[in-house]
Structures are given as structure tokens and as C-alpha cells.
Amino acid sequence: MAEEQDASTEEGGAKKSSKLKLIIIAVLALVIVGGGGAAAALFLLGGDDSAAEEAAPAEPVRAEAIYTKVRTMGGKPMFVVTLQSQDKRPHYMQLYVEAKSRDQAVADALTLHMPLIVSRLNNLYSTQDFRVLQSLEGKTELRDKSTDLVREIMQEKIGKPGVETILFTNMVMQ
């Protein structure tokens, strides 16, 4: 009887190990087939990224914008000018101005040459017509003229325009 138990235990152990081997082989087959299928899908559908990178020109990395407040020597952050007018009534404009650049050397040059910049911008702003500045086109034109004027000064002083644009951060007219 003891011999029968030993024989049945050996058969049960052999059955368990063959089932375990079968399960492991099935799992490995699924992993291999699944992984191969995923790799094939990525290869066929993913395209060639290196060819796309070589074909597309690399975009230059833009530096962080630097904003410099255009201030008078007294530290006032705004321009206040009397505007030209056809109706013979006095009209005034208060304007806060900032210069946008992407180079610290340009920002430093703006600060250094601030008296000249303020003087020329004051002359420009005081010759403007009230009626023209009431339209969006008039304000845009004034901003463009301001940008060109500051770029000319920077070109003259440091050899490059440097200023990306002039921004009006606040504008009040009456």
C-alpha cells in the first residue's frame, strides 16, 4: 500500500510540473507574440523620427523677453504731452512706455541712453494729432514710429537695433 501511495504521488507531481511547464510556456509565448506585435506596430506606424528631425530645420531657441520701462530722469514712469488739435482746445496724452528686447546688453544700453530716448520720444509724442490717435490705426502707427525711433538710437549707440518692439502699457487721452 505504501508503494501505491509513492507511485501516485510521483504521478501527481509529474502532472503538476507538466501543467506548470505548460502554463509558463503559454505565458512566455503570449509575451513574445504581444511584444513582437507592439514592436511591429510601432515600427510600421511610427515612421522614421530621425528622418523627420533631419528634414525639419531646427528652430532657434529664443531668449527670454526683457522689458525696460522708459522713464524720465526724475523717475516718472510716463510721458505727459499736449496734443495737436483742429478744434483749438487743449488735449493731453499720458503714456506709459516699455521697450521689449531679448538681450541684457540692449537693456543696459537702453538704461544708459534713457535721457536721449526720452527726449526724442517726447518730441515725437508732442507732435501727434489728437484726432488721429483716437483710432486704433493711429495708435498702432505711433507705436511703430516709437519702435523705429528707439531702434535708430540703439543702432547709433551700440551698433544693432536690439529692441524688438515698443509697448504702450497705458494710454490716456483727454
Task: Give tens-digit pLDDT for 70-112.
Answer: 987 777 889 999 998 888 899 999 999 999 999 999 999 999 9
Domain assignment present for residue 60? The answer is no
User: Which residues are paired to 67 by β-bridges?
Assistant: 100
Q: What is the mean pLDDT of residues 39-54?
A: 59
Same domain, 122 and 49: no
SS3 88: coil
Domain assignment present for residue 61? The answer is no
State percent of the chain over pLDDT 70: 74
Question: Is the confidence at residue 57, as pLDDT, over 70?
Answer: no
Same domain, 44 and 115: no
Same domain, 17 and 45: yes
Domain assignment present for residue 86? The answer is yes
Q: What are the Cα distances from residue 83, in Å, to 45, 132, 149, 166?
A: 65, 10, 19, 20
Q: Which domain holds residue 14?
A: 2-55
Same domain, 45 and 87: no
Higher pLDDT, 52 or 95: 95
Q: What is the mean pLDDT of the chain?
A: 83
Q: What is the pLDDT of residue 10?
A: 53
Question: Is the confidence at residue 146, as pLDDT, over 90?
Answer: yes
Its pTM stands at 0.63
Same domain, 101 and 71: yes
35 is written with which cell numbers?
Answer: 511584444
Same domain, 44 and 123: no
Same domain, 162 and 84: yes
Q: What is the mean pLDDT of residues 162-170?
A: 94
